[in-house]
């Protein structure tokens, strides 16, 4: 099975930056597998943020983060990153790394994610 572990969450001021990391253990990403970042704020549904094709180059972003967030991967270390710039208070949420072979997960539908990390908290204050 796939084990995912996120890190990098913190409390920052609006306009600040953070880089989140997701490392996969006991798992080797392959083409056709999608890795994504999702977030969930208290009382709200989990929503997709960004996704990437494992060992590929294509990426997909939610409209709310386009131009501010960048998803990348280091295949040698089985690690996916989310660079977050120009953070806003509305970005406050717990951020989760997810993996799936379903294209709908790549399109940021959390219902089709098969594996999840434990999450890391991001808090952006005004």
Give me the residues of the chain with pLDDT under 70, please. 26-32
CA distance 29 to 54: 6
Whether 62 and 6 have beta carbons less than 8 Å apart is answered as no
Nearest to 38 by CA among 23, 25, 48, 27: 48
Nearest to 37 by CA among 124, 126, 120: 120
What backbone phi and psi angles, to 5 degrees, belong to 25?
-115, 155
Q: Note the pLDDT of residue 2.
A: 79
CA distance 102 to 112: 6
Q: Note the pLDDT of residue 28.
A: 60
Which parts of the chain are beta strand (E)? 3-7, 11-13, 18-25, 34-40, 47-53, 59-61, 69-74, 79-84, 93-100, 115-116, 120-125
Which pair of structure tokens corresponds to residue 72?
């990348």
């Amino acid at each position: 099975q796939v084990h995912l572990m996120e890190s990098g969450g913190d409390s920052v001021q609006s306009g600040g930056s953070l880089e989140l990391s997701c490392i996969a253990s006991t798992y080797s990403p392959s083409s056709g597998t999608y890795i994504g970042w999702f977030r969930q704020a208290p009382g709200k549904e989990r929503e997709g943020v960004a996704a990437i094709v494992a060992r590929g180059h294509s990426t997909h972003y939610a409209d709310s983060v386009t131009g501010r967030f960048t998803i990348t991967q280091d295949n040698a270390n089985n690690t996916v990153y989310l660079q977050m710039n120009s953070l806003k208070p509305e970005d406050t949420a717990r951020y989760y790394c997810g993996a799936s072979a379903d294209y709908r997960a790549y399109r940021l539908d959390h219902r089709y994610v098969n594996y999840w990390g434990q999450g890391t908290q991001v808090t952006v204050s005004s």
